Amino acid sequence: MKYVDEFRDGALAAKLAAAIAREADTGRDYAFMEFCGGHTHAISRYGVTDLLPANVRMIHGPGCPVCVLPIGRIDMAIRLALSRAEVTICTYGDCLRVPASGGLSLLKAKARGADIRMVYSAADALALAQKMPERDVVFFAIGFETTTPPTALVLRQAQALGLANFSVLCNHVLTPSAILTILESPEVRELGTVPLDGFIGPAHVSTIIGSRPYAFFAEEYRKPVVIAGFEPLDVMQAIRMLIRQVNEGRAEVENEFTRVVTEEGNLKAQALVSEVFELRRRFEWRGLREVPYSALRIRAPFRKWDAEAKFGLEFVAVPDNRACECGAILRGVKTPIDCKLFGTACTPENPMGSCMVSSEGACAAHYNYGRFRDIPVVAGTAS
Ligand code: SF4
């Protein structure tokens, strides 16, 4: 298949659904976690779960970069923007709306007078710093391995240019550490409340890191991983490949997304990232708590462009809103409709938690593509 339409072909999807139904053993259940928010989005958008037999269940994982960012990291940016008049914070649009402490978000802080701007890329933030030498421009960087190389590149450019009014508040996180944390979580290991038979491996992330880093999960934890593209037929084919592995008692890394992902990944991007970043000992994730060696910080030669060092910023952990189930959803323990606020107090227009903010978040994907209809609606009659 060469064109995107072919990966969305309804007739092919029906054939694939029939093959999945044939191959799924009716005597057992299958539970697969799609790690990546892009897959969550595709599954909701194209109604993939409706095409699966009842004994094949998809579990949303912590693969949405906006969703896994803890409140305390957003608070750091808000505190900086509100306390230093010379600072301009730049970040991606979704980050602006994530609820933070004290009823604030970056967007609400902007309404209070902070200079906070939306950018489409790290390069936009760097360009803004060049355009406004009188301002101190801070790029609030988030994301998994996919968005890390562009951040590394701007840090190297800032160093080469000697651009003193630019810095990065680094929140980049690592996919394999999050998968490991899920596999080591009590819900998976001890309680069995999250039965996991395998993973759909992320698409974009794997273009950078390749398929090799997942071999550990297949070998050590006996969990099959199938890396898949973002189109509905990609996801369905990956589910079929996972079912086959489970049926045959195999636990291997397979690559459905061969048109883009290789075993070794993008070596140039990996070299750039390791030149600029090093591992953080600890980093807090929303829903997963502190995960050792799960995030990146800026290396010493680039310290002048590290906003945490430049402005003496400290992370303060903040508990999530107790009514919001984002944490449990990100661990695969609950689904969006298990949250009392879903579709009532919490909607994409008025998000109460991070999973409703980004279109890749489980709650937003579920809401935007009509999965909220799973909720029984009781219609009253006018008297
Ligand atoms: S519906 Fe809203 S409040 Fe509930 S888990 Fe999702 S984001 Fe959090």
Report the separation in Å between the CA atom of 332 and the middle of ligand 1, taken as the mean of its atom positions. Answer: 14
Distance from C-alpha of 308 to C-alpha of 80, rounded to nearest angstrom: 10
Contact between 176 and 61 under an 8 Å Cβ cutoff? The reply is no
Residues 97/86, Cβ–Cβ less than 8 Å: no
Residue ranges with strand state E in 245-350: 253-255, 277-279, 282-285, 289-292, 296-298
Looking at this protein, which amino acid is placed at residue 35?
A: F
What is the structure's pLDDT at 151? 98
| Tokens (6 digits) for 118 | 């939306």
Closest residue by Cα to residue 350 from 364, 362, 361: 364
- Give buried/exposed letters for 243-279 (b at 16+ CB in 10 A, else e): bbbbeeeebebbbbbeeebeeebbeebbebbeebbee
Token duo for residue 309: 């060092």
pTM over 0.85: yes
pLDDT for 13 equals 92
Q: Distance from the CA of 230 to the center of ligand 1, in angstroms? A: 24
The pLDDT value given to residue 376: 60
Q: Whose CA is nearest to atom 7 of ligand 1?
A: 353
Mutate to test the pocket of ligand 1, among 322, 337, 342, 344 (most ligand atoms within 8 A of CB): 342
Strand partners, 137: 88, 166
Question: What sign does the dihedral 126-128-131-132 (CA atoms) show?
Answer: negative
Cα(245)–Cα(56) distance, integer angstroms: 14
- 362 CB within 6 A, ligand 1: no
Pocket flag, ligand 1, residue 352 (CB < 6 Å): yes
Q: Which residues of 177-186 are buried (b: 16+ CB within 10 A; e: fewer)?
A: bbbbbbbebe
From the list 299, 302, 237, 303, the residue with the least C-alpha distance to 274 is 299
pLDDT for the residue 381: 47
Determine which helix (DSSP H) or strand (DSSP E) holds 344, and give its type and residue range.
Answer: none
Ranges of residues in the chain whose predicted pLDDT is under 70? 371-383
Task: Give the contacts of 212 (CB within 8 A, at least 6 positions apart).
Answer: 253, 263, 264, 265
Distance of CA 286 from the midpoint of ligand 1 (Å): 13
Task: Determine whether the shortest distance from the Cβ of 355 to ligand 1 is under 6 A.
Answer: yes
The reported pLDDT for the residue numbered 140 is 98
Ligand 1 touching residue 209 (CB < 6 A): no
Instruction: Please report the pLDDT score of residue 270 as a whole number.
Output: 97
Distance in Å, CA 353 to ligand 1 centroid? 5
342 alpha carbon – ligand 1 mean position (Å)? 6
Residue 347, amino acid: T
CA of 351 to the centre of ligand 1 (A): 7
The C-alpha atoms of residue 129 and residue 167 are separated, in whole angstroms, by: 9
Q: What is the pLDDT of residue 383?
A: 42
- Report pLDDT for 373: 61
